[in-house]
Amino acid sequence: MSKPTIFLTRRLQPAAMRILEQACQVSLWDVEDQPCPRDVLLRGVAEAEGLLCLLPDRIDSELLEAAPHLRVVATMAVGYDNIDVAACSARRVLVTNTPGVLTETTADLAWALLLAAARRIVEGQRMIERGEWGPWYPMQMVGIDLCGATLGVVGAGRIGGAVLRRATGFSMDLCYYNRRPDPELEARTAARYLPFDELLRTSDMIVVTLPLNDTTRGMFGAREFALMRENAIFVNVARGPIVREGDLVAALRSGRPRAAGIDVFEREPIGADHPLLALPNCVCVPHIGSATIATRTRMATLAAENLVAALTGGPVPSPVNAEAVGW
């Protein structure tokens, strides 16, 4: 029996390539650090039964039109806002993602940003680099304590739960906002449910771990920043468009929130002239929530396992729209 044809928008780690090459006939965009150009992608899927894609690839009706044989789109990410899942479902194309394997790594980054923003780590290093570190004085580079503060997680799913779990060592008061209360999460983390506005008013530290969808797009803007406490620290490790970036810049300039840690941006990648980079009270990193060797390798192998299982009739580890396509 001939192997199914698949297209990859990037070469993956060897462990994932082995899984794919054993079961499939593989063609790919083989440039490690550049997204697959749209015309290459559209040509690449013309004969493909499977597509393995990454965050920068837009999977929409145009692409589905160009891919008459496509049966599965496997993304190497937990978030799939770059994929028109409804359009895939309408064509009975299965979509899969990589939940679970990046939870702890992303929660670690949320904490790295919380600590860096609250304790002015990057600002301090820049001050030294500029040769401006003068003699010690009482209020030099003072920040905000995490210990004893109230931590509010907005969108407490897997990653948000892991962020809350890490707070134990900091003796924090914990709260969360989800569409509805989650008694299991409360039992596990001792976090209490608060309505959204109340969480914003109550929390000293706010971490966003929501998925991006029509409800969450633009959820944080001028109104929400104005509700925050004066010394609040704001962290976003979810998706950039959940935050109105212009409003965040204005809010940070006015000092409420006091500081922010940002991993994700409205349009990625950002350039060196992005206004958030000019603010001393904002720590920016380039969408590295899941970026450890072990986690990125696990994401790649899980994406490969999803793709192969979908094409060979095995149980698919993490389908997104199984019901809709009758899987």
**How many whole angstroms separate alpha carbon 201 and alpha carbon 215?**
21
Provide the minimum distance between the beta carbon of 3 and ligand DGY in the complex, in angstroms, as a whole number: 28
Asked about 244 being catalytic, the answer comes back as no
String of DSSP letters for 35-84: PPPHHHHHHHTSS-SEEEE-TT--B-HHHHHT-TT--EEEESSS--TTB-
The dihedral through the CA atoms of 125, 127, 128, 133 has a sign that is negative
Provide the minimum distance between the beta carbon of 55 and ligand DGY in the complex, in angstroms, as a whole number: 6
**How many whole angstroms separate alpha carbon 77 and alpha carbon 59?**
14
**How many whole angstroms separate alpha carbon 53 and alpha carbon 175?**
35
Binding site for ligand DGY (CB under 6 A): 55, 77-79, 102, 289-290
Q: Which C-beta is closer to ligand DGY: that of 83 or that of 283?
A: 83
Q: Which C-beta is closer to ligand DGY: that of 23 or that of 159?
A: 159
* Among 258, 287, 296, 298, the one annotated catalytic: 287
Asked about 104 being catalytic, the answer comes back as no
Those residues whose C-beta lies under 8 Å from the C-beta of residue 86, and which sit 6 or more positions away, are none
Q: Which C-beta is closer to ligand DGY: that of 79 or that of 143?
A: 79
Q: Which C-beta is closer to ligand DGY: that of 4 or that of 289?
A: 289
Q: Which letter does DSSP use for residue 299 in this model?
A: H
Whether the Cβ atoms of residue 102 and residue 82 lie closer than 8 Å to each other: no
Provide the minimum distance between the beta carbon of 98 and ligand DGY in the complex, in angstroms, as a whole number: 6
Provide the minimum distance between the beta carbon of 19 and ligand DGY in the complex, in angstroms, as a whole number: 19
Asked about 10 being catalytic, the answer comes back as no
Kindly list the catalytic residues. Answer: 239, 268, 287
